[in-house]
Amino acid sequence: MNKTLHILSQALSILLYPLFIPTYGMALLWLGMNSVAGQLPTVYWIIALVGTSCLTCFVPLSIILMQVLRGQIESIMIDNPGQRTMPYVYTTTCFGFWTYFMHSVLHLPAFMLWVGGGATVALALVTAINLKWKISAHTTAFGGLMGGIISFCLYYGYMLTPAFMTILVLIALLLMYARLYVDAHTPLQVVAGLLLGLLTTLIPNLILFNAQI
């Protein structure tokens, strides 16, 4: 049983690897935008998904894998806090370019600009916090996804169904449990990460929403 739980926790940690989250978010935005704002050209979303995947996943992940091969870090999970600084700096830079890409190339709605900016700020804060304390990057990324989903709902006046909200919260709880089970973090570290990601992407959009009403 313990071995099965460990395997499942590792699998969930990989499935919800922080660098995968923005691509998941963009795919969800595709579905959400088509349901509330009408069908947009497929080529638009292909560019959006490819651009997001390249800038927030493939490029930073390639850098991390290169460092693993060189023996500079132990694994892509970067469980050693002392090895996190430079990969996080590279990733934060990539997220900054992603935000610029969304704004200047895709001209996505304003709430997405704030989500991208918030995610970049969250990464910068995780990098700084990590110098003294090991906050969870996994839960920070998922908290950012949750903040992005709520921001979308605010922007378009779309009400999340209870079933979807339950699933979202359940996944967050399972991820937190998984990171605890593999002994990667303490309870405070996973909770702090989730709140950091959620607040940095949601608060700017709450301000934007209130300014528009």
How high is the pLDDT of residue 61? 95
Q: What CA–CA distances, in Å, run from 143 to 52, 92, 129, 190?
A: 18, 16, 17, 10
How high is the pLDDT of residue 149? 94
More confidently predicted of 104 and 210? 104
* Residues above pLDDT 70, as percent of the chain: 96
Position 1 pLDDT exceeds 80: no
How high is the pLDDT of residue 160? 80
Q: What is the pLDDT of residues 73-87, one digit of tens each?
A: 988 999 888 899 999
Average pLDDT over all residues of the chain: 91
CB atoms within 10 A of CB 96: 18
How high is the pLDDT of residue 118? 95
Joined together, the tokens standing for residue 13 give 């940690």
Joined together, the tokens standing for residue 62 give 């390639």
The backbone region for 135, taken as left when phi is positive above 0, alpha when psi lies in -120 to 50, beta otherwise, is beta
Query: Contact 126/3 with Cβ under 8 angstroms?
Result: no
Length of the chain: 213
How high is the pLDDT of residue 38? 61
Joined together, the tokens standing for residue 129 give 């916090």
Position 3 pLDDT exceeds 90: no
> Which 3 state secondary structure label does DSSP give 190?
helix
Q: What is the pLDDT of residues 108-144, one digit of tens each?
A: 888 889 999 999 999 999 999 999 999 999 999 999 9
How high is the pLDDT of residue 36? 66
Query: Contact 84/130 with Cβ under 8 angstroms?
Result: yes
From CA 211, how far away is CA 95, in angstroms rounded?
A: 26
Helix axes of 187-212 and 110-130: crossing angle, nearest 10 degrees: 150
- Of the listed ranges 4-18, 34-48, 152-166, 172-186, the least confidently predicted one is 34-48
How high is the pLDDT of residue 2? 81
More confidently predicted of 139 and 4? 139
Q: What is the pLDDT of residues 16-66, one digit of tens each?
A: 999 999 999 999 988 887 776 566 678 888 888 999 999 999 999 999 999
CB atoms within 10 A of CB 120: 22
Query: Contact 16/142 with Cβ under 8 angstroms?
Result: yes
